[in-house]
Chains A and B, each alone.
Chain A
Amino acid sequence: MLQQSISKLISEDQQIQYLLHLADNALILSHRNSQWCGHGPILEQDIALTNIALDQLGQARNLYQYAALLITEKTGIPTTEDQLAYLRDVGEFKNCLIAELPNGDWGQTVLRNFLMGSYQFFLYQELQQIATGQLKAIADKSIKEITYHVRWSADWVVRLGDGTTESHARMEQALELLWSYTGEMLEPSDFEQELIGTQSSYIKAAWEAKIAAVLAEANLDHPKNDWMQLGGKKGIHTEHLGYLLAEMQFLQRAYPGLEW
């Protein structure tokens, strides 16, 4: 567990909450993608997805390091990226629910990456304009990587959606499953308001246009339902996140402070 004074600061500091939210999105998505390592449909795509997972882990590390620095400055207690990743429990994670859902098949995996990656692309593009200091630097750095991620995942959505009867049906199922988890990304929570609240409608419109264009190219019907799952940003998660953290955090929980 994090020290009480650190947990207290996090619960009161919206800037740190926002950084943790961005970091958690990147970390949990990275972890899910890394679970494909050694299981990809062909070697080239196995490598592609694990490379993407590595980029996302790097982005998460930059954000955790920055949050840890701010926490250290504000509390006087030396805090590290590892503590933030490994010593917080389910209720303290602020990632969107879509990141933590199981991978499902390859189609579901590439679709999740496309839906989330497109959101990250437009978000980081805005952050390049409105953020300052280290957060702007992280956005400047990350957007190039995310550009390649979205090119890759959009290409796969089109390939499978406009592919065989089987692949088309699988993509329809994946879209049906994931769609109700997309709204949470586009609905700013309290800690997002100050920085990107005014830009959120622009991000939403840009995301919707991008998704609609790729789904049309993939010959997939645009989902009509607009009821959306919420909760992740407030720490109310699906049952899947607990299992993910139990595996990811095991070593630091069992052997606190252990280093390679």
Chain B
Amino acid sequence: MEATIVIDKEKSIWNILETVCDPEIPVLSIIDLGIIRAVAFNEASNMVELTITPTYTGCPAMDMIGAQIRMALAEAGFHQVKIQQILSPAWTTDWMTESGKQKLQAYGIAPPVATNFNQVYLEDLEIACPNCGATNTKLVSEFGSTACKALFQCKDCLEPFDYFKCH
């Protein structure tokens, strides 16, 4: 009986976390991003224990995300929340959900194309324009509006766009 309660609570916590968005890319939830590594509910202490991992070491959104998590959980009645940040295993864009990648594309940001971080493979990536779909694109800058993105331009429709880099 007790185990079922804990599982139900953890399920509802995952659902609440699905409503917390990345402050820089509001179409992505933190679940889409893959930064929630573990969720546990301790019934004895009534404590939510979360393990999260940063996308980039200097990402200023992490503090904001932590605050938003606490607010969303508090609104649902979870007032005691412990958030542990871990670095290993290091976050990778492989953990981004498929629906997250589709949301990025629809938002105008080309999603990461490779399935793992391989620096040799990075050289020959073909990035499709999220506007017209053409692969005739060029890299403008390795770093775009944030460290996790690069700036590209489509040579067909001429639209500049952000590309979420493989990481």
A147 to chain B, nearest CB (A): 5
Check if A140 is an interface residue, CB within 8 A of chain B: yes
Check if B42 is an interface residue, CB within 8 A of chain A: no
A145 in contact with B87 given A44-B141, A47-B141 (CB within 8 Å): no
B140 to chain A, nearest CB (A): 6
For B166, give the chain A residue with the smallest CB separation. A144
Contact residues of B between 10 and 35, Cβ < 8 Å to A = none
Check if A173 is an interface residue, CB within 8 A of chain B: no
Say yes or no: B143 contacts A52, CB within 8 Å.
Answer: yes
- A155 and B145 CA atoms in complex are apart in Å by 20
Say yes or no: B142 contacts A47, CB within 8 Å.
Answer: no
Say yes or no: B86 contacts A58, CB within 8 Å.
Answer: no
Say yes or no: A57 contacts B58, CB within 8 Å.
Answer: yes
A141 in contact with B87 given A55-B58, A59-B57 (CB within 8 Å): yes
Partner among B86, B119, B165 whose Cβ is within 8 Å of the Cβ of A137: B86
- Report B-chain residues with C-beta under 8 Å of the C-beta of A144: 90, 117, 167
- A20 and B106 CA atoms in complex are apart in Å by 44
Say yes or no: B57 contacts A152, CB within 8 Å.
Answer: no
Say yes or no: A145 contacts B119, CB within 8 Å.
Answer: no
- Report A-chain residues with C-beta under 8 Å of the C-beta of B86: 137
Can you list, as one digit per residue, whether each of B156-167 has a CB less than 8 Å from chain A (1) or not (0)?
Answer: 000000000101
B148 to chain A, nearest CB (A): 9
- A54 and B146 CA atoms in complex are apart in Å by 10
- Report B-chain residues with C-beta under 8 Å of the C-beta of A58: 54, 56-59
- Report A-chain residues with C-beta under 8 Å of the C-beta of B57: 55, 58-59, 61-62, 141-142, 145
A48 to chain B, nearest CB (A): 4
- Report B-chain residues with C-beta under 8 Å of the C-beta of A140: 87-90
- A52 and B146 CA atoms in complex are apart in Å by 10
A141 in contact with B90 given A47-B143, A48-B141, A151-B122 (CB within 8 Å): yes
Check if A45 is an interface residue, CB within 8 A of chain B: yes
Say yes or no: B143 contacts A48, CB within 8 Å.
Answer: yes
Check if B133 is an interface residue, CB within 8 A of chain A: no
For A47, give the chain B residue with the smallest CB separation. B143
- Report A-chain residues with C-beta under 8 Å of the C-beta of B109: none
Say yes or no: B122 contacts A137, CB within 8 Å.
Answer: no
- A155 and B165 CA atoms in complex are apart in Å by 17
Say yes or no: A54 contacts B147, CB within 8 Å.
Answer: yes
Check if A229 is an interface residue, CB within 8 A of chain B: no
Check if A148 is an interface residue, CB within 8 A of chain B: yes
A190 to chain B, nearest CB (A): 27
Check if A134 is an interface residue, CB within 8 A of chain B: yes
For B165, give the chain A residue with the smallest CB separation. A148
Check if A51 is an interface residue, CB within 8 A of chain B: yes
- A134 and B90 CA atoms in complex are apart in Å by 11
